[in-house]
Each structure stands twice: as structure tokens, then as C-alpha cells.
Structure 1
Amino acid sequence: MRIVSVTRTVPFDGIPHAGGEYALRHARALHELGHEVTFIAPDTEENRRAVERGGHHGDVVLYGDPTLEHPGPFERLRRRLSPARVSAAERRALARSSRAHVALAGAELVEFHWTQAADLRRVVTRHAPPHARRLVVLYDVMTQQVQRQRDTAAGGAAARIVRSLKVFAVRRAERRAIAAVDVAVVFSEKDAIAATALAAGTAEVRVLRPPLAAGTDIDAPPREPELEDGRPRPFTVLYVGWFRRPDNARAAEWLCSEIWPSVRDVYPHARLILAGADPTATMAEAAAMDPSVSITGYRESLDEFYARADAAVIPVRQGAGVKFKTVLAMLWGSLSSRRAWGSKASQTVRNSSGGRPTTRPVSPRASWPRPPIPRGPRASPGPRRSGPERSSPTRPSTTGSPA
């Protein structure tokens, strides 16, 4: 089958966010099944780098020019108010791309990856065959995200009005995107409920469960305590994210300023690792002032950090950590503290007999694990992954930085 993938990001080996890693595995799986895939994406620095690095198993058509990455003040304002839509300049660039027209003319299936890509549907429809099926992959249902921002952010009446207008614009764009396709793909039942409400019967909504558990060994015995200079290794807390995403960055900064000092008061030898690409200047300042905080920056693989972590912190109030980050931490056997950074929290633990994980609400201070530190083995063996192949389509996604 000839598949055209209209996407915001061309996947490549080592892509630094979970959505891109899923797109990469998706493309590899299609290639292994014998399908022909062509990616159509904007001409950005990241996508040019993806073309150079390869690994996406398909042809790539970049439309437009690098000026798309450098919008003027009006376009920057529009993006803040209506982030689910692309610019008029980008739509014109795709409409002028003869290579994109040729690729679309032979499509049997058109995929839109990310909500914004579906905003190009009118241009795509003019050049794709009428019989070609269409689907959209909603990595996040953006309506939920902007609703959380509206309901939780501070500010006066004017700020609330602006955020409400943003919710209206995103909901309308997302509803139209879903209405224009045959199938909308989401990654959780929660997102399916939201997408179904937006679809209002116009498209089929399917839940795709990424194979995060494949390749794990849930019967693996607990590891022996690791030693550093002959002493038990300090208790290690891991926060993973792509910090170009504001939700991830704000939560990490809040963790460093509001929570971590309290943890250090109780456990002075504990360590915090902020793992992921594009850390902010505020995060770097926090690490410079506190030797217990370390920043990894971009890494090809995060396996070594998950393997060493005793606890993982995941933002869920304004992020989407429940779909990937929480599950990955549990698969690695880390106790997972899912922070609702600011109001309340929940804690996911695996009992000592290796039973099912449980989640219970706790207070912000009580949400922090209190095992004997730094003595003794891990409190929980948890599942461990077997198999060394990082690029296997069935391995849990710990490449780069989950979004």
C-alpha cells in the first residue's frame, strides 16, 4: 500500500520525544509489512536533520522554506491563541509543492500525524485520490490540554477570557480535523472519550495501546544494591521529559524549587536527575546551585537512567505523562510519583511481592517515597526489560526524551 504521512515531525533515530519515537516505530512497522511510506513535512531544522540522519524507512518531501520557523509577531500571537492550526503561509507552501502533489496523487492512505497536520486537509484533499482513506493520529487531544490550562492557571478576568477563547479555537479546529477523516487514533481510553465527543459520530475513534510492556521480564529477580566507593548508592529520583515542551519544563522547575529542598531536608544524600533534551536556563541554574541535581541533556538512550532510578516523577496536571512516562517508570520497576504539581498528587507503587500496581491519592508531602535511604536493596523488584536491541519496534520507548 502507498501511504502518505502528513506530519509535523519526520521521525529519526534518537528523536527526543515520545511522540516522535512512536512515529518512528510506526514507520518501521509499516516498512517491515511491505508498505511504501512518504513523509510530507514542513522544511524545519529538525526535519532537515531527520533527513540527514535517516532511519525513517521512507521518502521525505519537505515543503516551504526555513522562514516557516521564524514567524513574525502577528503569527506568534496567532499560534498562542490557536495552536491547533498552521499558518496561512504554510498552507500556501504545501499548495505550491509539486513534489508533495505527486506523492499525494498516488496515495492509497493518508495519515495526519498530530492535530496541526490535519489543518492541511483541504490542500491534501485537492491532490489525493477521492478513494484514499484518511486517518489522524492524536498524540494528545489538544482540547483537553488547553482546558486544563484554562482551569488551573492563575490570572485575572482578562487572562481567563483569553484562555477561554483559546479553548474555543482549539476545540473547533480539532473537531473539524476529526470530522475530515475516516479514523481518529488515540492512545488511551480517556483520550478516546474526548475525541468521541469532538467527533460527534463523524469518524471512528480507535484506541491504540503502544506495546510498552513488550520485551519486559516481569519475573526478573531484584538486583543487588549498587555501590559507589564501597557504599550503597544514594536514592535516585528521575524526571524525564522533552523540556522544549513548556508543561514539562514548568513542572521540572517547580519540582526543583518547591519540592526537592524538602526532600533534601529529610534525605540529604538523595539525588535528582533531570533527563531530556533542551533543559531551560532555570533548570541549569538549579543544578548549578544544588549538587544533588543533575541535568543530562539530550541522550540517545535513557535506559541507564531508568535502570538506576529508585523513583520517577511524572507531571500529569498539564502534561500527558500518564500515557507514556508513568507506564515506562512502572515497567522499569521504579516507584512512580505522579505530580499534580501544586494541588494534589497520586502515588503508584508495586508491592513487595510483585503484585499489581496500585494508585492512591496522597498529600503533596506524603507523595514522596520514604524507603530506608541509602541502605539496602530496592523496595520493589518490579519488571525489568530483557533484550539489548534499542531499535526493536516492541521495546519500551526510552529513546530520547518522552514528550
Structure 2
Amino acid sequence: MVPASHTKICSITPVLPHARVQHAGGLYVWQLDAALVDDLGAELHYLVPDLPSNSAAAEDPSHARSFDLLARARGRRHSLAVRVYNAVRRIDPDAPYLPAVLDLWFSRRLRAAIQNAEVLDFQWSSWARLIGLRRLNPGAITVVTLHDVSSQRGLRERERATSRLQRWKWDLAHRIARSSEKHLLRVADHIVVFSEKDRSLLDPQAAHTHIRVIPPPLAAGHSAQAKVSRQPTVLFLGFFARAENRDGLLWFVERCWPAIQDAVPGARLRVAGGGMSDELRAHLENVTNVDLLGFVDDLDDVYQDTSVAVIPLLSGAGVKFKTVEPIVRGIPVVATSVGAEGVGEPSWYAGVADDAREFSAAVTDTLLHPEIAFERAAGAREDAMTIFGREAFLNQLRNVYLRGEPNSEGLPHGI
């Protein structure tokens, strides 16, 4: 039964939700849409930029029911805004898409969508920068979802930088991101993060009560425990347009995969996910025992014959959905510390290692002793099902979106 809340929500986000979305953040927005509209009865309207990915999503029958595409008009102002945006992003990766920002401020029709909402929802740290739009509707509750903590990403990239210029760039990005996060803490009514780790990064002193940890409902629909695979199969799932996934895959293939093949000659690596460049694909096609699956509609088909999932990420921030997905299915997982960050306890993993030799050894041990690894994974799955279940997700959404209270700590009207 769908409750008749009819709460009017305007979501300002870079992604139009649809069933075939290829990255984790988009998957969350799709699940959020289904929960708010189908389960909780909210009326949800999206304001999203007219980018190729959203134009394609608009052709998908599964897309969100109500939306406007921003910055559709092409002309001199649009071209200038794109050039400025591209220049700013070189030092501020979280800068919002400037053509869409201008459209939001100057279009009477789009302003009306904001003014008529009871809740203004901002997804991702970049679009949370637009929280000043609350001035158009000071009575609305504002909800900001930070898919990761950008200031942490800036610090990590600064540490990995190989030149003084790159270190300066990422240090500046870190400072800008941290300033933005502090501003959001002051003015947003609710800030949603996916893990306690991210809450602690945002608010080390635990001084704010309006930060909500809402784990994504990745356990929904996974009632059966995975079975031990008959063949030694390693899976890496990711969206390879993201640098952290691309770099992690190359690190694993070049630093770990040869040793694993020597120890387990029949092992195969399956790489699933969209966004892969022709250059990366050509490189991987020359690596032995690697199968490139591309984008996969049904992840259950991929996980069905998986012996171990690897999460060899070297950078990035936030909860990695690719880490949670195999855990809630009862599949052994080997991850780096970045890949495991914010997801469960060390006991949930078949191994957590940042050293290539140790990472390879953990994968090899899992492939050689699958019964032991799957028994351990079954225990991790039981714990994960309680955290990443749908009912817990819905209860949290009710409190934030349908019964949300203003943030008494902050400044009025999001100024």
C-alpha cells in the first residue's frame, strides 16, 4: 500500500534516475526515487542538466516520471558558460555545471518548480553548492546528500600527486571542498551520508545533530546465499569513466594478476561495467584470462559464478557500492583499505591489503580454499543485510523527507 503523503520534492541533481544507470551514485538516486515515489507516495520532480547521459536516460522507459532538462538552449551564452565551467573545474572539480546554474536562476518556469516544493533535494557535493536556491523558497526543507566527502578525496589526490603543480591543485581543491562542507553544515536542514566514517569526516567533534547516516538499500532482493563457484573466477565491477576505478583495475592487472595466475592457472578475471575507453579496452585484451563484459543489465548473472570480488581502489572517497554488492550476496571480497573504507568490519572480508603481494595472496587463498571463504562470507552477509536492508532505508527516508524539521543550528534561508 502506498501512503498518501504527496510531499512535493524538487530534486536538483546531475543524474536523471533510470533503471539502466551505469554508476553507483546513479543507482542510489534511482533507488531513492523508487522508495520516495512508489513506497512513500511523494511527488518528485527533477531538475537535471541536458547532458548526453541524461538525454539518453530520457529515452529510457524506466526514467523518473517528472523532470526538466536544464540548459537545453544553445547559443553564445551557453558556449561562454561551458568554457568558464571547464576552466573553473581545473582547480575546483566540484564546481556545478554553469550553464544549468544560469538556467535555474533566469528561467521563470524552473524557478516555479523550486518555489512550489516542500522539500529541496540536492544530490552530490557539486550540486549542493546550489543550496543558495533556497532563497527562492525559504520555507522549504533542504536535504543534501553527499555521495562522498570531497575534502577527503582532495587530500588523497594531493598525497598521490607527482608534481608540485598537482599537489598545489589538489590542496586548493581540498580547501575549497572543506569550506563548502562547513557552509553546508551551517545552512542545510539535513545532510545525508552513507557511512559513519563520512559523518566523522564532516563533523569530527560530533557537534551537529542534522547529519543522517542512511546506508543505501543494496541488500534488497538478495534473499539467497551465493553458492561456491565451480571455477576460480575473479570479478571487478566498476564504472571505468571514473579515474579511481580505471587506476585500480590497472594496478590489479599489472601488479597482482600475474602472481594469481601463477598460483591458480585456471583462474579468470571478469571485468564488468561501462565507461571503458578504447585505449583501456585494447590494453586489457592483451592480458591473458581476462574477460571484458562491458555494461551488464542484471548483476545477478555476473555474481552467480564469482569466486571472489576484488575492490583494488587506490583513491576516492565515500562508500563503495561495488564493495557492498558482493557482501550482501555472500560472495568473498578482497579490498584495499580505500575499497573497504566505511563498509563493515575487517571480519567481513577475505582480505584487506594495500600491498600488491599481500592483495594477491589474499585472492589466491580465497580461490584455493573457496569453502572456507564462502562460509566466512555468509556470516558477513547476515550482518550486512540488517544494515543495507530496504525497511531501514524507508524508515530513514520518512524521517528526513516526510517528517523533516528545519536545522535550528544554521543560518536562516540558506544564506
Classify the TM-score, shorter chain: 0.7 to 0.9
Say whether 1:58 aligns with 2:76: no
State the Cα deviation string for residues 315-354 of structure 1 (Å, max 9, x = none).
343134754222222222322111359xx999x9999xxx
Secondary structure of the residue aligned to 2:201 is: helix
Cα separation, partners in 2 of 1:373 and 1:186, compared to 1, 3 Å: closer
Give, in whole Å, the separation in 1 of the partners of 2:96 and 2:294. Answer: 29
Residues 4-403 of structure 1: pairs in structure 2 closer than 5 A? 4-32=10-38, 33-65=40-72, 75-122=85-132, 124-128=133-137, 130-155=138-163, 157-197=164-204, 201=208, 204-217=210-223, 220=225, 222-223=227-228, 226=230, 233=231, 235-320=232-317, 322-339=319-336, 363-368=355-360, 369-371=363-365, 379-381=373-375, 382-383=377-378, 394=390
Cα separation, partners in 2 of 1:257 and 1:105, compared to 1, 3 Å: same
Q: Could you state the TM-score of these two structures normalised by the residue count of structure 2? A: 0.78
Secondary structure of the residue aligned to 1:5 is: strand
Do the aligned residues in 1 keep the contact of 2:81 with 2:98 (CA within 8 Å)? no
Cα separation, partners in 2 of 1:287 and 1:3, compared to 1, 3 Å: same
Cα separation, partners in 2 of 1:262 and 1:153, compared to 1, 3 Å: farther
Q: Which shows bigger deviation, 316-325 or 40-49?
A: 316-325
Q: Which shows bigger deviation, 162-171 or 173-182?
A: 173-182
Superposed displacement of residue 266, structure 1: 2.4
Give, in whole Å, the separation in 1 of the partners of 2:30 and 2:340. Answer: 32
Superposed displacement of residue 288, structure 1: 1.9
**Whose strand proportion is higher, 1 or 2?**
1
State the Cα deviation string for residues 213-240 of structure 1 (Å, max 9, x = none).
343346x4845x54xxxxxx3x111111
Q: Which shows bigger deviation, 33-42 or 328-337?
A: 328-337
Superposed displacement of residue 10, structure 1: 0.8
Cα separation, partners in 2 of 1:275 and 1:222, compared to 1, 3 Å: closer
Give, in whole Å, the separation in 2 of the partners of 1:71 and 1:329. Answer: 42
Do the aligned residues in 1 keep the contact of 2:89 with 2:95 (CA within 8 Å)? yes
Give, in whole Å, the separation in 2 of the partners of 1:345 and 1:187. Answer: 13
Cα separation, partners in 2 of 1:199 and 1:37, compared to 1, 3 Å: farther
Give, in whole Å, the separation in 1 of the partners of 2:295 and 2:333. Answer: 22
Superposed displacement of residue 256, structure 1: 1.7
State the Cα deviation string for residues 350-396 of structure 1 (Å, max 9, x = none).
99xxx9657665743132323486898684254499xxxxxxx949x
- Residue identity opposite 2:10 in structure 1: V
Secondary structure of the residue aligned to 1:55 is: coil
Superposed displacement of residue 244, structure 1: 0.9
State the Cα deviation string for residues 182-216 of structure 1 (Å, max 9, x = none).
11000000101122259964x71110022323433
Cα separation, partners in 2 of 1:104 and 1:273, compared to 1, 3 Å: same
Give, in whole Å, the separation in 1 of the partners of 2:205 and 2:100. Answer: 25
Give, in whole Å, the separation in 2 of the partners of 1:259 and 1:196. Answer: 37
Do the aligned residues in 2 keep the contact of 1:115 with 1:177 (CA within 8 Å)? no
Do the aligned residues in 2 keep the contact of 1:113 with 1:136 (CA within 8 Å)? yes
Do the aligned residues in 1 keep the contact of 2:16 with 2:64 (CA within 8 Å)? no
Do the aligned residues in 1 keep the contact of 2:111 with 2:136 (CA within 8 Å)? yes
Identity %: 29
Secondary structure of the residue aligned to 1:273 is: strand
Do the aligned residues in 1 keep the contact of 2:333 with 2:350 (CA within 8 Å)? no
Q: Could you state the TM-score of these two structures normalised by the residue count of structure 1? A: 0.80
Superposed displacement of residue 27, structure 1: 0.8
* Count of residues paired in the alignment: 369
**Whose helix proportion is higher, 1 or 2?**
2
Secondary structure of the residue aligned to 2:311 is: strand
Do the aligned residues in 2 keep the contact of 1:175 with 1:198 (CA within 8 Å)? no
